[in-house]
A and B are shown apart, each in its own frame.
Chain A
Amino acid sequence: MLLWTTRARALTLALFGVVVVVVFVAPIATVVAAALAGAWTGPLPSNLGPKNLSAALSEENLASLTVSLQTAFIAGALALFVGTWAALAAREAPVWLRKTTDAVFHLPIAVPSVAIGLGLLIAFNAEPLLLGGTKWIVILAHTVLVLAFAFSSVSAALDRLDPAYRQAAESLGAGPTRVLLRITLPLLLPALGAAAGLAIALSMGELGATIMVYPATWKTLPVTIFGLTDRGQVFLAAADTTLLMAVTLVALLVVGRIRRR
């Protein structure tokens, strides 16, 4: 459209192709290739086979995967519930309260996750609320981090929602609970699905806050991967990362199906 000559177009597209391959395709392909490789000393990986992947699915690593999945689903559900509640309630609230909620809920996006982890570690390592050393401090950290994204997706969807449906239901005598359950939430379902997918993806890959608070009994997959690379077991780390990518993409796909329905 911008380029009218065939030569200019071909040149631009060729450059674009190189950039996309180098910047986006190569990293993902490399990690997958390394996950399948037994060694990588030349230009191409050698001794290809599923050895690393099956090691990644063996006991200790599989435990990390289930820990990550549980954390992601519990934290995602909690964040979605609180975030949706806050977004819906803020809509009806007076302006000062709406602005406060908006600012406070977006805070965890702006603050580095390591600092959030440090704060949780200091704040909840003593009575009355002793969470340090349990899995709940990890889940709490993930919930806090994901909450901002859940809240902002749902409030953005509420902004776009046509108020006519709600007003029609109200004028026909439906009470607030009925309007919420029969009109607003069903209309929000695509946004809720998107928020859930994003929440799970973010939580699966979270490292900064987790590494500050995790107990030895609740090691998420990214923490395990860091331990592996730190000890030089890069091929196993690549296999675990491939697993993490695959699970994240499946979660996104599943949630994407809910969105389209």
Chain B
Amino acid sequence: MTAVLDRVHLDPPPVRPAPSRWRPVAWALPPLLLVLGFAVYPMARVLAESTVTDDGRGLSTWTEVLASAQFRNALWRTIEIAVASTLGCLALGTFLALVLAFVPFPGSKVVGRLIDTILSLPSFLITLAFTFLYGTAGAVNALIAQLTGADSGPLNFLNTPLGVIAAEITFFTPFVVRPLLAAFTQMPREQLDVAASLGASPWRVLRTVVMPEAWPALMAGGSLVLLLTLNEFGIVLFTGAKDVVTLPVLIYTRGIVTFDLPGAAVIASVQVVLSLSLYCGYRFLFNRLLGGRRAAVDHTR
């Protein structure tokens, strides 16, 4: 008995080896190398491919593509659609988030969950639904024709930029609702009640108390939607209109349909630079507005 006790007493506490400085680095490297190899390297290959010409390498593909009317039209169309969709999403998303946060009603949880569900569905679903609803032979046109007695309904916007913008607003609004709702629910209710009890109208409370607080969330949601709409592919592809061509669709048609890889690579390089600079701006803005705190604005949370 005493021997056992003695041994326990004599055993020195295990000395941990001092952690090596390089061990954490070695652990972090394998996943990093995987992403560098499978995501960054292909992007570098795109840039390299864009300099391939018929006789070796050069910038002739670049000058040819950048000068083409097809590319310029697609670039402006992409920006036009992205900006208009973002503004629409911001307006609609602010309204929805305000009601969900400040006008409580039974079933608001269900609506919140429905909005979350939209985020996980494929975007082309919206275009497909729109053809049945608002297409020239769609349900709404048929209803209007029946009511007015005309031969056909008046709606014919699906093959115009307006149709794509409407579809994108429908699909991307949840990305604005989520961060705004998070910001609104963190707001102290007393502030609102005090302002209202001092005689401020709902508009004034909204303007002077609520919106200034929600500004960072609005900016973050808006820039995320701008990025996603710039990169959106499914909605535009399913729309299939000849005169609504955006950069991602142009990358697809040049790369796969006509198999002009260098040409597609030039457009992809332009698009990547555009998206990355917007993304860097978004991260910068985000870190500054929230003081480096990465709050619930990221749509993955």
Contacts and interface: CB of A to CB of B under 8 A. Distances in A.
* Contact residues on A (Cβ < 8 Å of other chain), bracket: 35 or more
12 contacts: A12-B99, A20-B96, A23-B169, A31-B132, A33-B132, A45-B139, A82-B34, A112-B230, A201-B121, A205-B122, A207-B123, A238-B132
A172 B193 CA distance: 50
Interface stretch (B3-11, B54-62, B64-72, B110-118): B110-118
Given A2-B192, A101-B31, A144-B38, A208 B124 contact: no
A119 B206 CA distance: 47
A65 interface: no
A188 to B, nearest CB: 14
B87 interface: no
The 9 closest A-B pairs by CB, nearest first: A119-B42, A205-B122, A110-B279, A27-B129, A86-B31, A112-B231, A201-B120, A43-B143, A208-B233
Contacts of B51: none
A143 B256 CA distance: 21
Contacts, number: 277
Interface in A1-57: 1-4, 8-9, 12-13, 15-16, 19-20, 23-28, 30-31, 33-34, 40-45
B300 interface: yes
Given A2-B102, A118-B255, A40 B272 contact: no
Contacts of A86: 28, 31-32, 35
Nearest to A234: B131
A90 B102 CA distance: 40
Interface string A161-198: 00000000000010000000000000000000000011
Contact of B268 (A101, A118, A197, A205): A118
Given A1-B192, A113-B233, A144-B38, A234 B128 contact: yes
Contact of A27 (B111, B126, B210, B276): B126
A208 B38 CA distance: 17
B99 A13 contact: yes
A57 to B, nearest CB: 19
Nearest to A230: B240
Given A13-B105, A249-B117, A119 B43 contact: yes
B146 interface: yes
Given A23-B170, A212-B255, A234-B132, A222 B122 contact: yes
A159 B294 contact: yes
Given A92-B24, A105-B35, A226-B124, A122 B45 contact: yes
Nearest to A97: B28
A153 B299 CA distance: 10
Given A1-B189, A2-B205, A207-B233, A229 B238 contact: yes
B99 A156 contact: no
B173 to A, nearest CB: 7
Interface of A: 1-4, 8-9, 12-13, 15-16, 19-20, 23-28, 30-31, 33-34, 40-45, 82-83, 85-86, 89-90, 92-94, 97-98, 100-101, 104-116, 118-124, 140, 143-144, 147, 149, 152-153, 156, 159, 173, 197-198, 201-202, 204-208, 211-212, 222, 225-226, 229-230, 234, 237-238, 241, 244-245, 248-249, 252
Interface string B130-172: 1111000101101100100000000000000000000001100
B245 interface: no
A241 to B, nearest CB: 6
Nearest to A92: B24
Tell me what chain A mostly uses at the interface: helix, strand, loop, or mixed. Answer: helix
Contact of A115 (B117, B268, B298): B268
Q: Counting chain B CB atoms within 10 Å of each CB, which of A1, A27, A104, A147 scores highest?
A: A27
Given A20-B96, A110-B275, 11 more contacts: A4-B196, A15-B95, A82-B31, A93-B27, A111-B43, A113-B233, A114-B252, A120-B38, A156-B294, A225-B124, A252-B117
Of B31, B132, B231, the most chain A CB neighbours within 10 A belong to: B31
Given A104-B32, A226-B237, A27 B99 contact: no
Contacts of A19: 92, 95-96
Interface in B256-289: 256, 261, 264-265, 268, 271-272, 275-276, 278-279
A40 to B, nearest CB: 6
Contact of B300 (A16, A82, A98, A152): A152
